[in-house]
Amino acid sequence: MARLAPTRRDLLRGAAGAASLLAIRDRAPHRFPAGRYVDIHTHLGQRWGTLGALRAKELLEWMDAREIAQAVVLPLVSPEAWDIPLSTDFVLRETGPYRDRLIPFCSIDPRSIHLAGVEPKRALLERYVEAGAKGFGEHKPGVRIDHPGNVELFQACAELRLPMLLHLDRIRNIDEPGLPGLTRVLEAVPDGTFIAHAQGWWASISGAVTPEMMQTYPKEKVAPGGAIDTLLERFPNLYGDLSAGSGANAIARDPEFGRAFLIRRADQLLFGTDYLRPEQDVPQFELYRGLNLPQEARAKIFRGNARKLLGLE
Ligand SMILES: [Zn+2]
């Protein structure tokens, strides 16, 4: 029987083989490059910082080696967030030539007195959106999660349909065990899309959580009744960012619970690394290789959910 389409081997045979294969991939229905992962959480570094520079080209090479098709690049603007401010302007500039793969977010500190009220915050966010920003964060200011300036920002982001990536612990976006502050925010901004991250959020995978645990990496087995499950169930517009030591620890501390949690909440979880400096150790790859998740959960968590949220498909 005659074959209707050339096989991969046919295409690779001959001088133009590899080029033909690329041409076929380019005609595929999806605009985004092939790859196993979308990384919801990375940063670029400037040489002024104590950890030195991570330029866009180096980030892309690292992504290529790990089958990461696209990555969200997050500024850090609050004084509590990082050693130097990584401005939205810097992130927009660095990602400029690579917007098919590097997705810039923007950020504003809620205490900026020249941006009091929802209107001025929205006006600045609109300018960032015009310049290419696809989301808001990493939001990491030293205030309570339900600080009035935060709520104004979240309202402005909701109006502009910008997903918001929040770092929660005992110093930044502060909350209590049970996450009552985050619950108030979710009630106050029902149209927002929230992506929660860091120790304060991930310690809350367990029902047994103390204020101190919300700044650390608890090793105890997960107790049932964690605030995360309750909130994900109640708010379909809430997502968990699995990046960093906190995201890896939340799953690794109790792999049996962790695996069931990933499958149960596969529609609301996002793969991420928090890669921010060359040679950084990233635990997520080995962790997920060992979990043997069903194909459907992998496809959603590793790339599908992020692409939906960011409008990449
Ligand atoms: Zn980060």
Determine the distance separating the centroid of ligand 1 and the alpha carbon of 33, expressed in angstroms: 24
Q: Three-state secondary structure along the chain?
A: CCCCCCCHHHHHCCCCHHHHHHHHHHCCCCCCCCCCEEEEEECCECCCCCCCCECHHHHHHHHHHCCEEEEEECCECCCCCCCCCECHHHHHHHHHHHCCCEEECECCCCCCHHHCCHHHHHHHHHHHHHCCCCCEEEECCCCECCCHHHHHHHHHHHHCCCCEEEECCCCCCECCCCCHHHHHHHHHCCCCCEEEECHHHHHHHCCCCCCHHHHCCCCCCCCCCCHHHHHHHHCCCEEEECCHHHHHHHHHCCHHHHHHHHHHCHHHEECCCCECCCCCCCCHHHHHHHHCCCHHHHHHHHHHHHHHHHCCC
For residue 129, the CA-to-ligand 1 centroid distance in Å is: 21
Domains and CATH numbers, the chain: 36-310 (3.20.20.140)
Distance 76 CA to ligand 1 centre (A): 8
Question: Would you place residue 185 in the very low, low, confident or very high pLDDT band (cuts 50, 70, 90)?
Answer: very high
Q: Quick one: pLDDT band at residue 155, thresholds 50, 70, 90?
A: very high
Q: How many Å lie between the centroid of ligand 1 and the Cα of residue 14?
A: 46
- 36-42 average pLDDT score: 97
Per-residue pLDDT band at 72 (split at 50, 70, 90): very high
**Percent of the chain whose pLDDT exceeds 90:** 86
139 CA to middle of ligand 1, Å? 9
Q: How far is the CA of 254 from the centre of ligand 1 (A)?
A: 24
| pLDDT attached to residue 33 | 61
| pLDDT at res. 13 | 39
Q: How far is the CA of 261 from the centre of ligand 1 (A)?
A: 23
pLDDT band at 14 (very low <50, low <70, confident <90, very high): very low
Model confidence, pTM: 0.89
pLDDT at 35: 79
7 has pLDDT over 80: no
Measure 74 CA to ligand 1 centroid, in angstroms: 7
**C-alpha of residue 3 to centroid of ligand 1, in Å:** 50
pLDDT (0 to 100) of residue 34: 65
292 Cα to the center of ligand 1, angstroms: 26
pLDDT of residue 52: 81
- Output the CA 43–ligand 1 centroid distance in Å: 7
Which range among 45-49, 69-73, 74-78, 154-158 shows the weakest confidence by mean pLDDT?
A: 45-49
Summarize pLDDT for 18-29 with one digit per residue, the tens: 333 333 344 444
Query: What pLDDT was estimated at residue 24?
Result: 37
